[in-house]
Amino acid sequence: MKKQVKQKKSHHLLSLFSKLVIVLLVFCGFNLNILNANEAVSQHELSTQLQTMIRYNFIRTVAPLAQKAQKEEHVLSSLTIAQACLESDFGQSLLASKYHNLFGVKSYGDVPTIKLNTQEYENNQWITIQGSFRVYQNFEASVLGHTRLFTKGTTWNPKQYASVLAAKNYKTAAHAVQSSGYATDPDYANKLISLIETYHLNKYDTM
C-alpha cells in the first residue's frame, strides 16, 4: 500500500513539474513575442524617422534653387519643389540620384540621355514603357531645365505652359500643370497639392 502511495505521489509531483515547465515555456515564449514585436515597432519607427529626415533634407536642398527660378522666371517655388518630390521620390529614384533628373524630363535632340523604364497612364491603366530621359550634371541644372520647359514650352507649342506661369497660387498652378499635359497621371494635380500642404511648401513662395 505504501509503495502504491509513493508511486501516486511521484506521479503527482511529475505532473506538477511538467505543468510548471509548460507554463514557463509559454510565459517565456510570450515574452519573446513581445520583445520581437517591440523590436519590430522600433525598427518601423526608426525607418519612418529616417524617411522623414531624408524628405526634409531634400526639400531644403531644392528650395533655394526653386526660389531662384521663381525670382527669375515666376514659376512658383512650391510647385517646383512639389514636382521634384513627386517625380524623384524626394531625390531617391535612380533617375534623380544618379542622373540628377528631378522632374522626369524626357530628352530630345543631341543631349545626354539615359533610357529607363517608366510608368505611364494610358487607356485607363498604368503601363510600363522605356523612356529616354535627360541627364543633368547637378540638381541646379535640372531645376533650370524644368523652368525653361515652362517658359519656352515645347517645340510643337511654345505657349504650352503659359497657364502655369500665369498661376498666382499653388492650387491653380498644380491644375495648370496637369491640364497642360505635363503628366499622364489623372491624379497628378491632387498629388502635388497634397505634397505642398503636407510639407507647407507654399511658404517658399514668399521670398
* Model pLDDT for residues 152-192, shown as the tens digit of each residue: 998 899 999 999 999 999 999 999 999 999 988 999 999 99
Residue 112 lies in a domain: no
Does residue 86 or residue 12 have the better pLDDT?
86
Residue 181 lies in a domain: yes
Residue-number span of the structural domain to which 69 is assigned: 49-104+136-205
Angle at 90 (CA atoms; ends 84, 93), nearest 5 degrees? 95
Which tens digit of pLDDT belongs to each residue from 90-126?
Answer: 999 999 999 999 999 887 777 777 776 666 666 666 7
Residue 166 lies in a domain: yes
User: Is residue 25 predicted with pLDDT exceeding 90?
Assistant: no
Q: What is the pTM of this model?
A: 0.75
Which tens digit of pLDDT belongs to each residue from 38-74?
Answer: 666 678 788 888 999 999 999 999 999 999 999 999 9
Segment 134-142 shows an average pLDDT of 95
- Domain CATH for 195: 1.10.530.10
Distance CA 90, CA 108 (A): 25
Domains: count for the chain: 1
Residue 26 lies in a domain: no
Residue 153 lies in a domain: yes
Residue 9 lies in a domain: no
Q: In the block, which residue shows the cell 519573446?
A: 32
Residue 32 lies in a domain: no
**pLDDT band per the 50, 70, 90 thresholds, residue 11:** very low
Residue 10 lies in a domain: no
Grid cell of 100 as nine digits: 540628377
